[in-house]
Amino acid sequence: MNILDKIISDKRKEVALRKQLIPVSQLEQSVLFDRKSPSLAQALRDSDTGIIAEHKRRSPSKQVINHNLNVQDVATGYESAGACGMSVLTDGKYFGGSLDDLLLARAASNFPLLRKEFMIDEYQILEAKAYGADVILLIAAVLSQSEIRSLSEFAKTLGMDVLLEVHNLEELQKSIMPSLDMLGVNNRNLKTFEVSLDISKNLSAEIPDEFVKVSESGISTIEAIKELRPFGYQGYLIGENFMKTDDPGASATEFIHKLR
């Protein structure tokens, strides 16, 4: 069993438990549930930099990245830096995140928030909306075509954007459908954890123009972004690069300033 299979197996148990603890009706009564979500896809189209900055304490590949920061400061810093949006990892067991991180980021900022999570159930999309997210992530590697369709269409009924993440051509081909807003190419091989920008370059021509193209993982330099721009990418998800510093907001500010 690879790490991804293990994460999904644990996630099924976790979601089953959460459903017992908090009924759907309670999520739908949340103060944030009827809030109109700003569009990350539109923010990326309108931006000259396209940075989606991430809040991530640790990961299976890197262990601890940063446990010392509070998420409100990170959100405020990223927003004032000019990031288009913020990705908030909510998985607890493997990434040290929680839904409370999303809530705190929402309280501190107005820009689009992505719930970065291993989505397998509509219930998690209701949670995302109730806790202040505007965008959900779907990972093609762990979902069937019909699951991608039903989950993405459900997110659209809630007024949320959908970012679908692929790692190869086969995942991309099964995933292209009108209920997606953004197609993200993960440059990290989930089995080996090796990273290569060639994955984004090779898949770019296969992504139809109506979707915003996002490149994820292993983007730590201005050069990497300049290398990917000619391939039509408008979004760049940057996590560890900012989070491994003492002040992710300042780090993002400097990066975006140089990029401009």
pLDDT of residue 66: 80
pLDDT of residue 129: 98
DSSP, collapsed to helix, strand or coil, labels residue 31 as coil
171 is annotated as an active-site residue: no
165 is annotated as an active-site residue: yes
Mean pLDDT of 99-112: 98
62 is annotated as an active-site residue: no
Give the contacts of 216 (CB within 8 A, at least 6 positions apart): 165, 184, 185, 186, 187, 188, 236, 237
DSSP summary character for residue 209: T
pLDDT of residue 2: 82
Model pTM above 0.85: yes
Q: Which domains does the chain have, with CATH numbers?
A: 3-259 (3.20.20.70)
Closest alpha carbon to 201 in 223, 238, 227: 227
Helix%, strand%, coil% for the chain, nearest 5: 45, 20, 35
202 is annotated as an active-site residue: no
19 is annotated as an active-site residue: no
* Active-site entry in 175, 186, 215, 241: 186
Spatial distance between the Cα atoms of 126 and 27, rounded to a whole number of angstroms: 7
Spatial distance between the Cα atoms of 8 and 190, rounded to a whole number of angstroms: 13
Beta strands 182-186; 233-238: pairing state: unpaired
Give the contacts of 22 (CB within 8 A, at least 6 positions apart): none
What tens digit of pLDDT does each residue of 174-193 get? 999 999 999 999 998 776 77
Instruction: Return the structure tokens found at 210.
Output: 């109506």
Mean pLDDT of 35-45: 98
DSSP summary character for residue 160: -
* Active-site entry in 117, 216, 240, 251: 216
194 is annotated as an active-site residue: no
56 is annotated as an active-site residue: yes
Pair 127, 18: CB distance under 8 Å: yes
pLDDT band at 1 (very low <50, low <70, confident <90, very high): low
Give the contacts of 130 (CB within 8 A, at least 6 positions apart): 27, 28, 30, 32, 33
